[in-house]
Amino acid sequence: MSKGSDFDLAIQAKQLSRRFGDLKAIDRLDLNVQKCRIYGFLGPNGCGKTTAIRMLTGLLKPSSGEIQVLGLSLPKDAEKLRLRMGYMTQRFSLYNDLTVKENLQFIAKIYGLAGKKQTRRISELLSTYGLDQKKQQLAGSMSGGQRQRLSLAAATLHKPELLFLDEPTSAVDPENRREFWEQLFDLCDQGTSILVSTHYMDEAERCHKLAILEDGAKRADGTPDELMSNMAAQVVEIEADGLRQLKQRLIALPDVITAAQLGSRLRVLVKNTVHEPLVFLQHNTKLEADKLNIVRPSLEDVFITCTGGGRQ
Amino acid sequence: MMRSLYRIQAIFFKELVQLKRDKMTFGMVVMIPLVQLMLFGYAINTNVRHIPVALVDHSQTAISRVLVQTVEATQVVTVTQKYFDLKSAQAALEQAQVRAILIIPHDVSQRLARHRSVGFGLPASSDEETSRPIAQWLVDGSDTMIAAAIKGLKNMPLAELLSKPANRGTPTFEVTLFYNPEQRTAVNIVPGLLGIILTMTMIMFTSGAIVREREQGNMEMLITTPIRSIELMLGKIIPYIFIGLIQVFIILSLGYFVFNVPINGGLGALFSVTLLFIAASLTLGLVISTIATNQLQSMQMTIFVLLPSILLSGFMFPYEGMPKAAQYIAEILPATHYMRLIRGVILRDVGFTDMMPDIYWLIIFTAAGLTIASLRFKKNLD
C-alpha cells in the first residue's frame, strides 16, 4: 500500500502523549489516518482509546506531541475544527427528555442550519436512519439501536468531513450493528473520513486500517490483512481429548503465546521463532500428525499476540 | 453575531421544552412562592402575643385577681397554670409548659397602695424606700423575643386597676409610625420574602440546570459543537428570568390581595430592581454550576448561600443590629441589597438616586459573576 502524501491525511499525530498525574494514558502515539477511509482503534477497555479520541477532537490538551487534523493544528484551532467534524460519544449524549425531532432541530440550530434547509436535512436524516416513525418519540424511551442511530444522525447533521465514533456499538445487538456499519460505509463512500474505536474483533475487521492499542501505546497498525500476515506467531489447531490438561501443559512452554479452546479443538499460538511449529507441538503433545493443522490467523490472534504481554 | 443569537435561542427553546416536560420543577415554580408566602405571611409574627405563664398567688385576694386580669388584658400573656407554691411553678417552667411565672406576694395590697403606677397622690409613697414592686416575674430568658415582651410589662400603668381614670401623663417622646402604622408584620415580610424566594429558586434552578447537563453526559456533546460558553450560559439563564418574574407576580399579587401589602412605588422601579436581582442570583447559580460536579453538590452550595441570605440580609433581623463582621458578609450578598431596594420601592417609594449604591452593587455582582463563570467554564475536558 502506498504511504500517501500528507495532503491525503485526515489525521496526523506525532509522538502524542497524555499523562493524568503519574498515569500515562497515551504514550508516544504516532498516527496517520487517510481521508475517506474507516480507521479503527482496537483495544481493551482502559487502553486509552477515548483519551486519544478526545485529544484528536481538541477536547483534551496533549501533554506533548503534535496533532494535525484536517490541516488544522490542535489544540490551537480546536474551535475551527468543530464545524468540520462530528463526534459520537460513547455514552448517549443527546437529551432524553426531548423527542427525536426536537433533538435534531436543536443540533441543527447549534450548527446554524435554519428554515427550509433545516427541515430538508432533518427529514433526509430521519429517512436515512429509519427514524421516520419515531420522530415524535422521546429519545429516553427508545431502544439502544434507535438511540445509536439518532446519535449518528445528530453527529452527521452538518455533513462533517471527519467523524469520530467512540465505541458506537457497545449497547447494540448484532443485527443493528451490521446495519450501522453499512451506514458507516455509505458515509465513507460520500467522502467522510471516519475514526472508530471498538473492542469487537468483527468490527475491527471491517475497518480499512486499524491500530491496536494497549496501555496507551500502539502495538501494531495496518490493514487487517497486513496485520494477520505480519503476525509474529503461527496458529495451530489441535484436535484431541483432554484439552483442558493439554492446554495447561502447552501454555507453560515459553514458545507458546497462548492457547484457547474452541469446542473440541485447541487453538495454539506459537511464536515465529519456532521454525517448525507442527514438529514442535507434536514433540510436546505426543499426538499423531493428522491431529495438528496450521490455520489462517484471525484478527483475534493478532490482538492476543500484540497485547498478551500486558495481561500479567 | 446573528449566528450567536441563533444558538442562544436554540438553547433557550430547548430549555423551555425540557422545563415543560419536567412537571415537578414546573410545579415548584408556582408552588414554592404560593405555599411559602401563605405560610410565612400568617406564621411569622414579631408581635409576641399570648405567652403561656404560670401564676403563683400568695395573697389570694380580690385585688390580686383583678391584678391578674389587668395583666392578661394586655394580651401579652395568658395564665395557663395556677400553683400554690413556687417549686411546682418552676417545674412547669423547666418543662417548658409555661414561659414565665408571675408571683404575687402576700402583701400585694399594701405594695399597691404605695405604688406610683396606681397614682394615689404624692405622699411619701413615691419615695423609693417605701415603694416596692407589686409582684415578680420569673422568665425563661432563652428566647429573647419572649423575654423582651415580658420586660415590656415592667412599667405597665395600673391606674385602671382601681377604676381610676387613666392618668397617662405626658410621654417623654411623641412617636409617629410611618409606612406601617398598624405595625403589621406582613407588610415587612412580604417584600422580604420576594428576595428569599428568588434567591432560593433562581440559584437552585440555574446551578441545577447546568450541572444536570454535565451529569447526564450532554455536556460532552455540547462542547464538541461550535457553541460558545457565554452563549450556552445566556441561553440557559434567560428562561429562568421569566420564571423569576412569574414568581414575583405571584408573590406581589398575593401580598396585595391577601395581606393588604400596598405597593407604594412605581411598577417600573419595582420591575428594574427585581430584574437586576434575578440577574445577580442567576449568575451566582452559574458560578456554582461551574464548581459543582453533581446536582447534590449544587443543592448544598445553594443552601450555603441561602442561609445567610435569610439570616443576614435583614429579612429576619434588622441589618443595623448586627455586629460589624456580619454586616460585611451581608454586604456581599445580593439579597441584602435587594431587601433594601424592594422594601424601599414597595413601602416607601424611594427615588432612584437613593437606590443607586445598591443598584451599583447588583450590577457589579452580576458582571463579576458572569465573568468568573465564563472563565471557569472551559470548553474542554482538562
CATH code (residue B115): 3.40.190
Residue with cell 423575643: B145
Nearest CA in chain A to B16: A98
Residue B170 lies in a domain: no
Considering only CB atoms, which chain B residues are within 8 Å of A98?
14, 17-18
Chain A residue numbers touching B235 (CB-CB < 8 A): none
Tell me if residue A222 falls in helix, strand or coil. Answer: strand
Cis peptide upstream of residue A75 (ω within 30 degrees of 0): yes
| Partner-chain residue, chosen from B218, B221, B382, that has the shortest CB–CB distance to A60 | B382
Length of chain A in terms of residues written? 312
Chain A nearest-CA residue for B380: A59
* Cβ–Cβ below 8 Å for B7 and A75: no
Test B380 with A82 for CB contact under 8 angstroms: no
One domain, residues B357 and B212: yes
Q: Give bridge partners of residue A87 from the DSSP assignment.
A: A164
Q: Which of A112, A104, A107 is nearest to B1 (CA)?
A: A112
**Which residues on A lie below 8 Å from B22 (Cβ)?**
97
Is the CB of B18 less than 8 angstroms away from the CB of A114?
Answer: no
Q: How much is the pLDDT for A4?
A: 46
In a structure prediction context, what are the per-residue pLDDT tens digits for chain B, which is 382 residues long?
Answer: 788 888 999 999 999 999 888 888 888 888 888 888 888 888 777 677 888 999 999 988 888 888 888 888 888 899 998 999 889 999 888 888 899 999 999 888 888 777 766 656 555 545 555 667 888 999 988 888 888 888 888 877 776 666 655 555 677 788 888 888 777 778 888 888 889 999 988 898 888 888 888 888 888 888 888 888 888 888 888 898 999 999 999 999 988 898 888 888 888 899 999 999 999 999 999 899 888 888 899 899 999 988 998 889 888 888 888 899 999 999 999 999 999 999 889 888 888 888 899 999 999 999 999 888 888 876 666 6
B96 and B228 housed in the same domain: no
How many domains does one find in chain B?
2
Q: Do B225 and A82 touch (CB under 8 A)?
A: yes
Q: Is residue B69 assigned to a domain?
A: yes
- What phi and psi values does residue A292 have, to the nearest 5 degrees? -115, 135
Residue among A75, A85, A98 whose CB faces B14 most closely: A98
Measured CA to CA, the distance from residue B59 to residue B135 in angstroms comes to 11
Q: Is the same domain home to B13 and B144?
A: no
Residues B257 and B367 in one domain: yes
Of B108, B129, B162, which residue constitutes the final position of a domain?
A: B162
**Kind of pairing, strands A38-42 and A193-198?**
parallel
Asked if B108 and B64 touch (Cβ cutoff 8 Å), the reply is: yes
Which set of grid coordinates corresponds to residue A247? 492446554
Is residue B216 a part of any domain in this protein? Answer: yes
Does residue A303 belong to the interface with chain B, where contact is any CB pair within 8 Å?
A: no
Q: Which residues pair with A9 in a beta bridge?
A: A34
Burial A112-127 (b: 16+ CB within 10 A, else e): bbeeeebeebbeebbe
Q: Identify residue B305 by its one-letter amino acid code.
A: V
Residue pLDDT, tens place only, A205-257: 899 999 988 888 888 888 988 888 888 888 888 888 888 888 888 888 888 88
Residues B15 and B117 in one domain: no
Rounded-to-integer distance, Cα B340 and Cα A67, Å: 56
* Helix H or strand E encompassing A265: strand A265-271
* Contact assignment for A95 to B218 by CB distance below 8 Å: yes
- Residue A182 contacts B, CB cutoff 8 Å: no
Q: Is B335:B341 a contact under the CB 8 Å cutoff?
A: no
Cα end-to-end span (Å), chain A: 35
Question: For the sheet containing B136-139, what is the strand order?
Answer: B77-83, B51-57, B100-104, B136-139
**Which chain B residues are closer than 8 Å to A94 by Cβ?**
218, 221
- Say how far apart CA B51 and CA B153 lie, in whole Å: 12
Q: Which residue has the cell 433526509?
A: A124
Task: State the amino acid at position B363 in one-letter form.
Answer: I
- The Cα–Cα gap between B99 and B62 comes to 25
What pLDDT was estimated at residue A310?
Answer: 41
Those residues with Cβ within 8 angstroms of residue B211's Cβ, 6 or more apart along the chain or in another chain: B289, B292, B293, B294, B295, B297, B298
Specify whether B310 is located in the same domain as B265: yes
* Same domain assignment for residues B193 and B324: yes
The position carrying cell 495447561 is: A248
List the helix and strand counts (H, then E) for chain A: 11, 14
DSSP 8-state code for residue A83: T
Q: Is residue B214 part of a domain?
A: yes
- Confidence at residue A6, expressed as pLDDT on a 0 to 100 scale: 54
Please indicate, yes or no, whether residues B355 and B241 belong to a single structural domain of this protein: yes
The tens digit of pLDDT for each residue in A148-179 reads: 999 999 999 999 999 999 988 877 888 888 88
Query: What values do phi and psi take at B186, rounded to 5?
Result: -55, -30
Contact B380 A102 (CB under 8 A): no
Query: For residue B236, which residues of chain A lie inside 8 Å, CB to CB?
Result: none
Suggest the residue from B16, B379, B380, B382 to mutate for an interface test with chain A (most A CBs closer than 10 A): B380
What pLDDT is attached to residue A311? 41
Residue B142 maps to a domain: yes
Same domain for B213 and B115? no
Q: How far is the C-alpha of B83 from the C-alpha of B89, rounded, in Å?
A: 6
ipTM of the complex model: 0.81
A&B contacts, CB < 8 Å: 74
The answer to whether the Cα torsion of A220, A223, A228, A229 is positive or negative is negative
Query: Which domains, and CATH codes, for chain A?
Result: 6-228 (3.40.50.300), 232-296 (3.30.70.400)
Q: In A, residues 73-92, which contact B (CB 8 Å cutoff)?
A: 75, 78-79, 82-83, 85-87, 89, 91-92
Q: What is the mean pLDDT of chain A?
A: 86
B279 and B360 fall within a common domain: yes
B263 Cα to chain A: minimum distance (Å): 41
H-only helix segments in chain A: 49-56, 78-82, 100-110, 115-128, 144-155, 174-189, 201-206, 224-229, 243-251, 277-285, 299-307
DSSP letter (8 states) at residue A138: B
Span A87-92, average pLDDT: 89
pLDDT score at B101: 92
**Taking CB atoms and an 8 Å limit, are B217 and A93 in contact across chains?**
yes
Distance CA B8, CA B14 (A): 10
- C-alpha grid cell for residue B227? 457553541
Q: Which residue of A has its CA nearest to B232?
A: A110
Of B22, B224, B226, the CB nearest to A87: B224
Provide the shortest C-alpha distance from residue A114 to chain B (in Å): 9
Contact A78 B380 (CB under 8 A): yes
Tell me whether strands A72-74 and A64-69 are parallel, antiparallel or unpaired.
Answer: antiparallel
Q: Which of A37-46, A94-103, B177-186 has the highest mean pLDDT?
A: A94-103
Q: List CB contacts of B329: < 8 A, sequence separation 6 or more.
A: B308, B312
Per DSSP, what are the bridge partners of residue A265? A239, A262
Q: What is the pLDDT of residues A123-147, one digit of tens each?
A: 999 999 989 998 899 999 998 888 9
B22 and B128 in a single domain? The answer is: no
Predicted local distance difference test score (pLDDT) of residue B245? 92
**What's residue B129's pLDDT?**
56
Q: How far apart are CA B152 and CA B173, in angstroms?
A: 17
Nearest by CB to A106, which of B14, B223, B382? B14
Contacts of residue B3 in chain A, CB cutoff 8 Å? Answer: 112
**Per-residue model confidence (pLDDT) at position B121:** 53
List the one residue out of B2, B25, B6, B4 whose CA is nearest residue B14.
Answer: B6
Q: Would you call A95 an interface residue with chain B, using a CB distance cutoff of 8 Å?
A: yes
Does B17 sit within 8 Å of A102, measured CB to CB?
A: yes
Indicate whether B153 belongs to any domain: yes
Interface check A163 vs B, CB under 8 A = no
**B354, B254: one domain:** yes
Nearest-CB residue to B10 (from A87, A110, A154): A110
A120 touches chain B (CB under 8 A): no
Query: By residue range, what is the domain housing residue B8?
Result: 2-44+184-376
Please give the Cα distance from A150 to A131 (Å, whole number): 8
Q: Enter the C-alpha cell of residue A9.
A: 491525511
Is residue A44's pLDDT more than 80?
yes
Eight-class DSSP state of A293: E
Quick check: is B172 in a domain? Answer: no
Task: Give the closest-approach CA distance of B285 to chain A in angstroms.
Answer: 22
Query: How many Å lie between the alpha carbon of A253 and the closest alpha carbon of chain B?
Result: 45
- Alpha carbon of residue B356 to chain centroid: 24
Distance between CA atoms of A122 and B9, rounded to whole angstroms? Answer: 19
Asked if residue A94 lies in contact with residue B221, where contact means CB atoms within 8 angstroms, the answer is: yes
Chain B positions touching A111 (Cβ under 8 A) are 225-226
B307, part of any domain: yes
pLDDT of residue A188: 92
